[in-house]
Amino acid sequence: MNITEINFDGIIGPSHNYAGLSLGNLASAIHAGDAAYPRAAALQGLAKMRHNLALGLAQGFLVPLPRPNPVFLAAIGADGSENPRLTAAAWSASAMWTANAATVSPAADTGDGRCHLTGANLVTMPHRSQEWPDTVRQLRLAFADQRHFAVHDAVPPCFGDEGAANHMRMSTSHAAPGLEIFVYGTSGGAFPARQHVEASRAVARLHGLDPARTLFVEQNPAAIAAGAFHNDVVAVANERVLFTHELAFADPAGTYAAIRERLPEAEIVVVPTADVSLADAIQSYLFNAQLLTLPGGAMALVIPTEAWEHGRVRAWLDRMLAGNGPIRRVLPVDVRQSMANGGGPACLRLRVVADPATIDPRFLLDGAKAARIEAVIAEHWPESINPGEVGSTELAERVTAARIALLRALDLTELA
């Protein structure tokens, strides 16, 4: 089998807007009420996917969920008298951040030798808690081959689970058995800790992971309080490399020792707080990056342009590249519309290690399909959405029709 890592990016939906719904996400709060540009956002996301394709990497995608969400609106008895934030929740395009779609364990790690995916319940935030049934329906279509995949419903909502954004995997290669690291929170000061340790343990059991190759690590409460609402805002791993901020974990020394004990080949790249503060890391989203293994074997870090343009962050990156570390290239990408709502390159992708031949090909990107997606976005996605338009009948009809046009172009109308 041709086992490789495939990044599944979320196509940014036509209802993309800035409602400031995510407590603890500083970028979301700062830009609440700004005009949003769904067409530009979706084209930026597509350009990032094409960028990965041009690097010679496998690339997939997930399509936007139905928005405004009629199931959610019916469940709250919406009649126009509800809190406007609930209306905005039904319109949110936040499913574009597929790092929160599910937690994924490759076949090499699981008890039954299949790749397991468990949908994230995202219960902490109303606008995200409604996503998982439609997300799982899409995952069951993309990964329908039950010889190779098992797709699980979300764990019970009494345990908050935010998916791959709080999960890392390290290994000598993508195809080799790995060490799966689940990062949970216990406190975040004024902000909620979104990942519950019992949710992480439940996912590990559902996936049949070997306890000897599974770690449960507490996120640093100071990182949550500073605005690192998910672990992927302060740490990212790829194969043998962990790239992390000094203050990412509650017990960094213990975490590093446990990783090295289970994976002696591990290389841990720690960015000191004296060089890049937590505030710098969260403002720039340095760690909310795609750490990738290129076809030639070198590692590259795909970062948002905000990180490349940040003085202290850029100085540290320049020093890193001048050294002899494991990360050999830094590749900036423009995802400013997503960044303004609190999601960088890592938020926009779900990593799946599998043979592309076992996946429904409709969800795998190539040049021709990218051109079809671009044409639909250019024709149907609203150019802008102002806060006062959210909830309007006219805009609802337009964004619903835009999504249907995309599903038709991709032959995915069973998701309508």
Please, what's the b/e burial string for 44-74 (b: 16 or more CB within 10 A of its CB; e: otherwise)?
bbbebbbbbeeeebbbbbbbbbbbbbeebbe
| C-beta separation of 88 from 390 below 8 A | yes
| Whole-number Å distance between alpha carbons of 102 and 262 | 25
Residue 230 falls in the annotated catalytic set: yes
Catalytic residue among 16, 230, 245, 380: 230
Given 167, 239, 347, 389, the catalytic residue: 347
**SS in 3 state form for the chain?**
CCCEEEEEEECCCCCCCCCCCCCCCHHHHHCCCCCECHHHHHHHHHHHHHHHHHCCCEEEEECCCCCCCHHHHHHCCCCCCCCHHHHHHHHCCHHHCHHHCEEEECHHHCCCCCEEEEECCCCCCHHHHCCHHHHHHHHHHHCCCCCCEEEECCCCCCCCCCHHHHEEEECCCCCCCCEEEEEECCCCCCCCCCCCHHHHHHHHHHCCCCHHHEEEEEECHHHHHHCCCCHHHCEEEECCEEEEECCCECCHHHHHHHHHHHCCCCEEEEECCCCCCHHHHHHHCCCCCEEEECCCCCEEEEEEHHHHCCHHHHHHHHHHHHCCCCEEEEEEECCHHHHCCCCCCCCCEEEEEECHHHCCHHHECCHHHHHHHHHHHHHHCCCCECHHHCCCHHHHHHHHHHHHHHHHHCCCHHHC
AA identity, residue 150? A
Residue 396: name the closest of 46, 13, 94, 125 by CA: 13
Q: By the 8 A CB rule, do 181 and 217 touch?
A: yes
16, 31, 115, 162: the active-site residue: 162
Token digits of residue 13: 């939906």
Q: Which residue, chain included where needed, has tokens 């609440």?
A: 32
**Residues tagged active-site:** 162, 230, 347
